[in-house]
């Protein structure tokens, strides 16, 4: 009787991520010297049970999944060198040396000439405004380098493991132990524990977490599930549901939780407790709420409308930082600074429109379109910078797109960028990284003078601590507002 139940469970497909909405994401990608709209699937990346956070997540290219090679190999302990002059990428670890050339289908794996599968060549691809990543087909990693690659379409996740999991590889591995109970225990307002009880030893568990939406995943290899509901509602302290599923290889428990942190402990041979601290009382001043609605763009004739664009939002978190163990997202910092800039501009009699006033997603095309439709005088996008592996990188830079307009408004995008940077540095006292040009979609597609400010580096501890403080956010906002107001004096908005 119980045998029948088990075999039925074993063939159940994963229904684990019912909460995950479509992961297709619209974004602008820069490669081969041009910007391209990407609206295919975007995957999470988990390497040896660690989720890898990179602005350039795995994507599909010519129907093949591409993964960022540096992130994968650095997680595996290898060193990755990029040589700009001959466009080669070299990956070296104790037992592997791989040499690849950008846009070239031939790689050398431990000196052996190897064709990259599917005729997909390594490419330098950047999410607009972020740094370039070398992307290679995931099949190359699995076939040439002998790593175990697994897709989970429901979790929209690519798993890469440096060692073949023998129990997973051997599908005839008999299920010997079962999860027999999964119980949520609410301990206080911002604490939930999930207790997993099993019939066998649970010490071989593994755990990782995923974002957007937040999930904690606990796997028990070679375990089955016995008499446990597939969906357990919790709805307390940031934990919504616990989902329990099984494949021939493992039992998997997925906890839908907006967690600040979590811990998994084997409290006895057959009991696991996942301790989840919910995201409450953030220690830093990252405001994502705004009472005021978007300012009416039908401002009186003669007044000049300022459009402020808080970078990223919704499912697009932008760059990710960590301060005192707490995760800080670029989208939240950008919004907080944008709201303060709006407040200062309005106190000085300016009309301001926001492309987003809360944590919502807007495409890179919608943002300049709002400014164009409202016949705005200036467009200013606010972002936080990041760079991999250079924790000392710091400072403020402002971008404009050379092609976005001439001098039809009496001032150029270059004037706007110069003014904003000069006033930001004067108010913030940060390192001046100069005005730069780039083909960001938001500045390029705006008809009016447009600039994109990178306030500072979320990857620099000191700068992140500053940017998370209300005081520094006001200094930043003051600088941006002063630069805008200086430029507005010279702007005449052409009649539509």
368 sits in the region (left: phi over 0; alpha: psi -120 to 50; else beta) called: alpha
Closest to 310 (Cα-Cα) out of 381, 367, 385: 381
- Binding residues for Zn ion, rule: CB under 5 A, are 311, 318, 383
Exactly one of 74, 397, 418, 454 is catalytic; which is it? 454
Number of Cβ within 10 Å of residue 68's Cβ equals 23
Minimal distance in Å, beta carbon 385 to Zn ion?
A: 8
* Smallest distance, Zn ion to C-beta of residue 191, A: 33
Query: Which C-beta is closer to Zn ion: that of 243 or that of 383?
Result: 383
Q: Which residue is nearest to Zn ion (CB)?
A: 383
Annotated catalytic residue 454: yes
For Zn ion, the closer of residues 178 and 399 by Cβ is: 399
User: Closest separation between CB of residue 320 and Zn ion, Å?
Assistant: 11
Reported in sequence order, the residue ranges of 318-370 that DSSP labels E, i.e. its strands, are 320-323, 326-329, 351-354
Task: Write down the least CB distance from residue 366 to Zn ion, Å.
Answer: 16
Across 448-464, b (16+ Cβ under 10 Å) vs e yields bbbbbbbbbbbbbbebb
Q: Are 177 and 264 in contact (CB under 8 A)?
A: no
Q: Is the Cβ of residue 238 or residue 311 nearer to Zn ion in the bound state?
A: 311
**Beta strand pairing call for 215-221 and 206-210:** antiparallel
Q: Which CB sits closer to Zn ion, 383 or 433? A: 383
Sign of CA dihedral 68, 70, 75, 76: positive
Q: Are the C-beta atoms of 306 and 350 separated by less than 8 Å? A: yes
Which tokens belong to 433? Answer: 């990284």
β-pair type (157-161, 44-47): parallel
Please name the residues in contact with 33: beta carbons below 8 A apart, sequence gap of 6 or more: none
131 vs 167, beta carbon nearer Zn ion: 131
In the numeric block, the tokens 């404009």 are attached to 400
Write the burial class of residue 430 (CB in 10 Å: 0-12 exposed, 13-18 middle, 19+ buried). Answer: buried
Contact criterion met (CB below 8 Å) for 54 and 166: no
Contact 394, 321 (CB under 8 A): no
For residue 447, the minimal CB distance to Zn ion (Å) is 22
Cβ atoms of residues 218 and 204 within 8 Å: no
In whole angstroms, the minimum distance from the beta carbon of 55 to Zn ion comes to 8
Residue number with CB closer to Zn ion (134 or 386): 386
> Which is nearer to Zn ion, 303 or 365 (by Cβ)?
365
Contact 337, 382 (CB under 8 A): yes
| Interaxial angle between packed helices 470-488 and 413-428, expressed in degrees from 0 to 180 and rounded to the nearest 10 | 150
Least CB distance from residue 371 to Zn ion, whole Å?
18
Residue 425 Cβ, how far from Zn ion at the closest point, in Å? 20
What does DSSP say about strands 223-225 and 177-188: parallel, antiparallel, or unpaired?
parallel
215 or 383, CB closer to Zn ion?
A: 383
> Which residues does 113 contact at the CB level (< 8 Å), separation at least 6?
106
Instruction: Report the alpha-carbon angle 228-264-176, nearest 5.
Output: 45
Strand partners, 436: 399
Residues involved in catalysis: 454
């Amino acid at each position: 009787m119980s045998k029948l139940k088990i075999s039925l469970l074993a063939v159940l497909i994963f229904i684990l991520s019912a909460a995950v909405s479509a992961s297709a994401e619209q974004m602008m990608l820069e490669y081969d010297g041009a910007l391209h709209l990407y609206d295919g699937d975007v995957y999470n990346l988990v390497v040896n049970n660690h989720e890898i956070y990179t602005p350039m997540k795995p994507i599909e290219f010519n129907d093949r999944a591409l993964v960022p090679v540096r992130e994968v190999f650095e997680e595996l302990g290898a060193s990755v060198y990029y040589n700009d002059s001959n466009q080669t990428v070299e990956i070296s670890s104790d037992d592997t040396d791989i040499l690849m050339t950008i846009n070239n289908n031939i790689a050398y794996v431990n000196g052996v000439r190897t064709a990259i599968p599917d005729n997909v060549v390594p490419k330098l691809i950047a999410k607009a405004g972020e740094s370039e990543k070398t992307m290679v087909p995931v099949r190359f990693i699995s076939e040439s380098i002998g790593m175990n690659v697994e897709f989970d379409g429901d979790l929209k996740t690519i798993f890469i493991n440096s060692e073949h999991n023998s129990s997973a590889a051997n599908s005839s591995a008999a299920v010997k132990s079962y999860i027999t109970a999964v119980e949520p225990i609410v301990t206080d307002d911002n604490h939930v524990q999930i207790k997993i009880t099993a019939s066998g030893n649970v010490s071989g568990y593994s755990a990782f977490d995923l974002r957007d939406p937040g999930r904690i995943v606990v796997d028990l290899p070679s375990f089955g599930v016995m008499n446990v509901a597939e969906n357990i509602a919790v709805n307390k302290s940031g934990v919504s549901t616990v989902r329990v599923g099984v494949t021939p290889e493992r039992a998997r428990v997925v906890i839908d939780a907006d967690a600040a942190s979590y811990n998994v402990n084997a409290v006895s041979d057959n009991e696991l407790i996942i301790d989840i601290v919910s995201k409450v009382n953030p220690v830093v001043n990252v405001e994502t709420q705004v009472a005021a609605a978007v300012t009416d763009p039908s401002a009186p004739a003669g007044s000049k409308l300022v459009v402020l664009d808080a970078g990223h939002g919704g499912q697009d978190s932008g760059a990710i930082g960590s301060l005192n163990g707490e995760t800080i997202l670029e989208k939240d910092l950008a919004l907080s600074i944008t709201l303060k800039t709006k407040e200062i501009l309005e106190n000085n009699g300016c009309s301001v429109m926001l492309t987003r006033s809360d944590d919502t997603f807007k495409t890179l095309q919608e943002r300049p379109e709002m400014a164009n439709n409202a016949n705005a005088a200036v467009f200013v996008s606010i972002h936080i910078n990041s760079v991999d592996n250079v924790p000392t990188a710091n400072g403020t830079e402002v971008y404009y797109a050379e092609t976005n307009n001439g001098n039809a408004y009496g001032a150029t995008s270059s004037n706007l960028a110069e003014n904003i940077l000069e006033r930001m540095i004067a108010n913030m006292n940060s390192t001046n990284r100069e005005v730069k040009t780039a083909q960001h979609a938001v500045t390029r597609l705006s008809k009016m003078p447009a600039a994109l400010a990178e306030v500072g580096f979320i990857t620099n501890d000191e700068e992140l601590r500053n940017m998370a403080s209300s005081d520094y956010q006001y200094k930043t906002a003051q600088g941006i507002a002063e630069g805008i107001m200086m430029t507005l004096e010279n702007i005449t908005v052409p009649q539509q």
